[in-house]
């Protein structure tokens, strides 16, 4: 009889933020199935960040333990640096080490730009971008000392490509790309990896998307067919030793499709030996560059075919 395949995360300790529901829940469950001890972090808030409840995180921990896995719940908010450090401390107290962090926690407060409040912009930035920084920063010292570790940050095509009514979310998610790449560059010498995942999956947050027009209803119907469990395998892989040479990348997952997303590089250039004026820019530079301009695409314009 052939030996069973070894669990991908045997002996690892990982933190998954926002793990009480949706994508985070599926990542936590799969990580435990693959042998990891999991810190299931979730404040149990509504999609806009209001309220709190211990029930979602506790339920996931119970499921993991019932299946023979190892997990502890944590209810601290990623949006506060002291609380974020306490999430990391939970891993050390419960399991004595830390090997991976999945920055999945998030909220949505969508509004068209001119109607978006300062409070709603700052709240989304605080959870997604600052929260990912706070947790990662608290874990970075541990990873440096042990010369190993993996970060998985959740970005979005709202930032990578664009969407209407999500300036706060898009800014945070594109900011995460820069954060991840900087971590990858700064910590490569210590054997630490950092990657981004952009998910297509139905979740509570996606459930807040307006569905009034026929196009919007069709888009929501497509998303409803994509379960959050489809996102988990790539994340578990990126936490494991098999991905030791994968860092600084951006992946998108849509059903059974995995995309390697592009990163900003020069597309076209113009040169004028005497320098530029407003007139020569209008007459020469912009006409030469215009064929390579990006249109005002939204995520759905680029991913226009049905998921596979």
Q: What is the pLDDT of residues 94-106, one digit of tens each?
A: 999 999 999 999 9
pLDDT at residue 219 greater than cutoff 80? no
Q: Which CATH superfamily is domain 13-260 in?
A: NAD(P)-binding Rossmann-like Domain (3.40.50.720)
Q: Tens digits of per-residue pLDDT, 65-88?
A: 999 999 999 999 999 999 999 999
| Res. 216 pLDDT band, cuts 50 70 90 | low
| Res. 2 pLDDT band, cuts 50 70 90 | very low
Q: Tens digits of per-residue pLDDT, 115-141?
A: 999 999 999 999 999 999 999 999 999
Which helix (H) or strand (E) element contains residue 251? strand 250-254
Share of the chain above pLDDT 70, in %: 93
Phi, psi of 25 (to 5 degrees): -60, -45
Active site (annotated) includes residue 294: no
Q: Structure tokens of 292?
A: 């390579």
Q: Of the residues 121, 134, 169, 303, which is catalytic?
A: 169
Annotated domain spans of the chain:
13-260
Helix axes 232-239, 22-33, angle to 10 degrees: 50
> What pLDDT is stored for residue 1 in this prediction?
40
Residue keyed to tokens 């979310």: 169
Phi, psi of 180 (to 5 degrees): -60, -45
Q: For the chain, first and last CA: distance in Å?
A: 35
Across the range 2-21, mean pLDDT stands at: 90
Q: Tens digits of per-residue pLDDT, 144-164?
A: 999 999 999 999 999 999 999
Please tell me which residue, 259 or 217, carries the higher pLDDT value: 259
> What pLDDT is stored for residue 209 in this prediction?
58
> What pLDDT is stored for residue 205 in this prediction?
56
Give the whole-angstrom CA distance, residue 240 versus residue 258. Answer: 18
CA angle 11, 81, 228 (to 5 degrees): 55
**Own/partner long-range contacts of 125-129 (Cβ < 8 Å, ≥24 apart):** 125/168, 125/171, 125/172, 125/175, 126/79, 127/49, 127/78, 127/79, 127/172, 128/169, 128/172, 128/173, 128/175, 128/176, 129/171, 129/172, 129/175, 129/176, 129/179
Give the whole-angstrom CA distance, residue 208 versus residue 295. Answer: 26
Instruction: Quote the mean pLDDT of the chain.
Output: 93
What is the largest distance, in Å, between two alpha-carbon atoms of the chain?
77
> What pLDDT is stored for residue 208 in this prediction?
54
* Inter-residue contact 35 to 12 (CB < 8 Å): yes
Q: Tens digits of per-residue pLDDT, 164-177?
A: 999 999 999 999 99
* Inter-residue contact 46 to 22 (CB < 8 Å): no
Give the whole-angstrom CA distance, residue 101 versus residue 26. Answer: 15
Phi, psi of 149 (to 5 degrees): 150, 160
In order of 108, 125, 254, the CA distances from 205 in angstroms are: 6, 15, 16
Give the whole-angstrom CA distance, residue 27 versus residue 71. Answer: 13
Which residues, 6+ apart, have CB-to-CB distance to 208 below 8 Å? 47, 108, 110
Give the whole-angstrom CA distance, residue 153 versus residue 10. Answer: 21
């Amino acid at each position: 009889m052939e030996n069973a395949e070894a669990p991908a995360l045997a002996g690892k300790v990982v933190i998954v933020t926002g793990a009480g529901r949706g994508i985070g829940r599926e990542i936590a469950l799969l990580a435990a199935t693959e042998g990891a001890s999991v810190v299931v972090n979730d404040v149990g808030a509504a999609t806009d960040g209001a309220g709190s409840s211990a029930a979602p995180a506790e339920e996931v921990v119970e499921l993991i333990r019932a299946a023979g896995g190892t997990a502890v719940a944590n209810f601290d908010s990623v949006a506060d640096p002291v609380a974020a450090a306490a999430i990391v401390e939970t891993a050390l107290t419960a399991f004595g080490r830390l090997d991976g962090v999945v920055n999945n926690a998030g909220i949505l407060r969508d509004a068209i730009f001119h109607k978006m409040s300062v409070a709603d912009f700052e709240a989304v930035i605080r959870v997604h971008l600052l929260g990912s920084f706070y947790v990662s920063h608290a874990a970075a010292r541990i990873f440096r000392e042990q010369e190993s570790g993996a970060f998985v940050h959740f970005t979005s095509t709202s930032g990578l490509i664009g969407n209407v009514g999500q300036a706060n979310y898009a800014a945070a998610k594109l900011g995460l790309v820069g954060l991840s790449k900087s971590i990858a560059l700064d910590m490569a010498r210590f054997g630490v990896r950092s990657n981004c995942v952009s998910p297509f999956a139905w979740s509570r947050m996606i459930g807040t998307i307006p569905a009034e027009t026929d196009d919007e209803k069709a888009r929501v119907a497509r998303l409803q067919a994509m379960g959050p469990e489809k996102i988990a395998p790539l994340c578990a892989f990126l936490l494991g030793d098999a991905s030791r040479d994968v860092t600084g990348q951006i992946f998108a997952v849509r059903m059974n499709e995995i995309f390697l997303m592009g990163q900003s590089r020069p597309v076209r250039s113009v040169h004028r030996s005497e320098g530029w004026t407003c007139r020569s820019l209008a007459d020469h530079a912009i006409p030469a560059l215009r064929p390579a301009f990006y249109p005002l695409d939204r995520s759905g314009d680029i991913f226009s075919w049905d998921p596979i």
